[in-house]
A and B are shown apart, each in its own frame.
Chain A
Amino acid sequence: MERKTYNFKETMSKPERLAPGHRMCAGCGGTIAVRAVLRALHEGDKAVIGNATGCLEVSSFMYPYTAWEDSYIHNAFENAGATLSGVETAYNVLKKKGKINDTYKFITFGGDGGTYDIGLQSLSGAMERNHDLVYVCYDNGAYMNTGIQRSSATPMYADTTTTPVGSASDGKLQNRKDLASIIASHDVPYVGQSTFIGNFKDLHQKAEKAIYTEGACFLNIMAPCPRGWRYETDDIMNICKLAVETCYWPLFEVEHGKWTLNYEPKKKLPIEDFLRPQGRFKHLFKPGNEHLLEQFQQEVDRRWEDLMFMCSR
């Protein structure tokens, strides 16, 4: 496929496919992810958007109003993968029968609750069957819609409402699940991990690749939630930058099993830099909790080394 070089101004000037006026919070990472992904759709191409139950769904399609310019389907929490599988299959049949002429792309959005956890089976099925669709996880690391409960995407030691920090608790006990690598193991044509960095070139290009690569593709986008993470709302770009510069959220892609690191920090920053601005990690900075920070750093280092190994093969 022919791709143009990335032009920030041109890309950002494209007509929005998610209209303003939806009810997502100011500064929500979820809608930033959605708009960035949809900008990668080529002009003239139509899309059917899927959506797992979550903040995005209940805030963007509240009867009788929809914020979606494209056809859109929300079914339930745990079945965005299966639902879009049905839509995509219907498209193939109807196109074969000559009932449809237009080109459609199929993109579904789910939070980490609908993707890492309750919807993992449905997602795995859709990926394994290799439907020609893109599943986009906007990962904000907890069940934000129901009020900041931990998910398997929540990082260790985060303070959530089901892993509250207390006199006998340091927050979540477990490390986060590495979903991008799980999906890559499905032998799908494309997996990309990204977030909001610089001029959005990384995310735009990954979205375009995912949408225009035939077969089941997966995007894992870190999409901070100012309410759940407890940082200053206008600090989102800085939070994302620190996630990448500390190697907490590496930018990489996996094409047919070939791993590529898209960005390597010149000087890897200490994980404290990413954790400090976030209220959910406040307890880690209390005197006597230095060992928790140390453990967090060790886990980041271990995963980074694993990733470097995968990308060097």
Chain B
Amino acid sequence: MGIRERLSGNEAVAYAIKQINPDVMPAFPITPSTEIPQYVAGYIANGEIDTEFIPVESEHSSMSATLGASAAGARALTATSSCGMALMWEELYVAASNRLPVVLALVNRALSGPININCDHSDSMGARDSGWIQIYAENNQEAYDNFLQAYRIAEHKDVRLPVMICQDGFITSHAVENIELIEDDKVKAFVGEYNPENYLLNAEQPMAVGPYATSPYYMETKKGQREAMINAKDVILEVGREFGAMSGRSYGFYEGYQLEDADYVMVIIGSAAGTAKDAVDILRDAGKKVGILKVRVFRPFPAKELALALQNAKAIAIMDRAESFSGEGGPLGTELTTALFHAKSTAKVVNYFYGLGGRDFRVENAEAVFEEIASKDNIEPYQYIGLRQ
């Protein structure tokens, strides 16, 4: 039995960092993730952890220093949001191609402009092709649990990729909820020590990192990254199961809520899944066969698994909290529709955009979506919900 507490999402992730006791954390403040480095700086100031904090002068430098530390042989991480992540964009790709197993605590926030400090997924979704593993949380408990699993996945010898642990800005990061923490010794045993094979400070074998790779070599590095991403699927499941054995809370690629017999399914990422579950409860009470598929892992994209889980659905509402401006659908919408096509699905698919820049997503909104996909035939396939009239 774990330890019952009440924490915000930021506190929960900071607490996970404290329990993991990583080596180096460079960070630069940005709302709404600022509290994470603040808590870590506090732990350091009180001698509670061995982590070295680098108060860098920008997010580009926070990720650059994180990569330097990781290449040197340290377990490293940083935290950021929105524009902070945009500033480290170049470094996201460098991290993945150099196969550095760093972890980023991302608190999702809308990208500018206009400047906005509230939640949407435009920051991480924009980075979906950077080569990072992306794991999303619905609430503080999941943010904490996901963070504890991050290094196990990132550092696995078949993976060696950076991992982004995402939670929703303010909705999750600042709301205080009940949480069950895991005992320090259990966490320590679960996460384990980091003993890299190759690193800059290996006295036995110097190493060179970050080559200039010409056309005869560049493409193979991408193939390597792709294989690692595919390998990550098994590792994510294995770590999720092992985490379940320790804590009682198992994790996979997705969570189904009233999914099995559902005719009408909403596919959604992050905190809004909680809201949508309330709508499902209301509609189920009224005899409607509705359900939720909450995507936890977006990279690697579990296409086959999601399509299989949706095989009995008559209509699917795919919820995107980020625009892609293709005019044809958002990131989740496009990828999941592709997966359904390959699975020869004949389900009706509608891609809804919701909650951009922190716009409220209410139980009524979710109910209306279910009503629409269950009752209408000719629905506008890509649409915004919750707009001002």
Instruction: Give residues in A with beta carbon < 8 Å to B.
Output: 46, 48, 50, 57-58, 61-64, 66, 68-76, 78-79, 81-87, 89-94, 96-97, 99-102, 104, 121-122, 124-125, 128-129
Q: State whether B56 touches A61 (Cβ < 8 A).
A: no
Beta-carbon nearest neighbor of B221 in chain A: A63
Q: Mark B67-104, 1 if CB is under 8 A from A, else 0.
A: 11111111010000000000000110010000000000
Q: Is the interface of B mostly helix, strand, loop or mixed?
A: mixed
CA distance A249 to B214 in the complex (A): 37
Q: State whether B66 touches A86 (Cβ < 8 A).
A: yes
Nearest-Cβ distance from residue A22 to partner chain B, whole angstroms? 11
Nearest-Cβ distance from residue B329 to partner chain A, whole angstroms? 33
In the A-B complex, the 8 residue pairs with the closest CB atoms:
A86-B68, A86-B65, A82-B61, A90-B72, A90-B74, A125-B57, A74-B210, A79-B64
> Which bucket holds chain B's interface residue count?
35 or more
Residues on A with C-beta less than 8 A from B52 are: 89, 92-93
Partner of A84, one of B68, B201, B206: B68
Q: State whether B54 touches A90 (Cβ < 8 A).
A: no
Nearest-Cβ distance from residue A25 to partner chain B, whole angstroms? 16
Q: State whether A82 touches B200 (Cβ < 8 A).
A: no
Q: State whether B203 touches A90 (Cβ < 8 A).
A: no
Q: State whether B54 touches A71 (Cβ < 8 A).
A: no
CA distance A122 to B206 in the complex (A): 25
Q: State whether B23 touches A121 (Cβ < 8 A).
A: no
Residues on B with C-beta less than 8 A from A100 are: 73, 201, 203
Query: Does residue B217 face the partner (Cβ distance < 8 Å to A)?
Result: yes
Q: State whether A48 touches B200 (Cβ < 8 A).
A: yes
Beta-carbon nearest neighbor of A72 in chain B: B208
Instruction: Give residues in B with beta carbon < 8 Å to A.
Output: 23-24, 26, 50-52, 54-58, 60-62, 64-74, 76, 90-91, 94, 200-203, 206-214, 217
For this complex, 14 residue pairs linking A to B, each with C-beta atoms less than 8 Å apart, are A48-B72, A64-B217, A70-B206, A72-B208, A72-B209, A73-B200, A75-B210, A76-B90, A76-B94, A82-B56, A86-B54, A90-B68, A91-B72, A92-B52
CA distance A97 to B24 in the complex (A): 12
Question: Given contacts A93-B74, A121-B58, is CB(A74)–CB(B65) below 8 Å?
Answer: no
CA distance A97 to B51 in the complex (A): 11
CA distance A89 to B68 in the complex (A): 9
Q: State whether A79 touches B61 (Cβ < 8 A).
A: yes
Q: State whether A82 touches B72 (Cβ < 8 A).
A: no
Beta-carbon nearest neighbor of B198 in chain A: A71
Question: Given contacts A63-B213, A74-B210, A87-B68, is CB(A94)–CB(B23) below 8 Å?
Answer: yes
Partner of A82, one of B50, B60, B74: B60
CA distance A72 to B213 in the complex (A): 15
CA distance A100 to B200 in the complex (A): 11
Nearest-Cβ distance from residue A222 to partner chain B, whole angstroms? 25
Q: State whether A83 touches B211 (Cβ < 8 A).
A: no
Residues on A with C-beta less than 8 A from B203 are: 46, 100-102
Task: Determine which residue in B26, B50, B208 has the highest number of CB atoms from chain A within 10 A of its CB, and name it.
Answer: B208
Partner of A129, one of B55, B76, B206: B55
Residues on A with C-beta less than 8 A from B61 are: 79, 81-82, 85, 121-122, 125
Residues on A with C-beta less than 8 A from B214 are: 62-63
Residues on B with C-beta less than 8 A from A50 are: 68
Residues on B with C-beta less than 8 A from A73 are: 68, 71, 200, 208-210
Q: State whether B67 touches A66 (Cβ < 8 A).
A: no
Nearest-Cβ distance from residue A61 to partner chain B, whole angstroms? 5
CA distance A119 to B54 in the complex (A): 18
Residues on A with C-beta less than 8 A from B70 are: 86, 90
Q: State whether A62 touches B212 (Cβ < 8 A).
A: yes
Q: State whether B212 touches A82 (Cβ < 8 A).
A: no
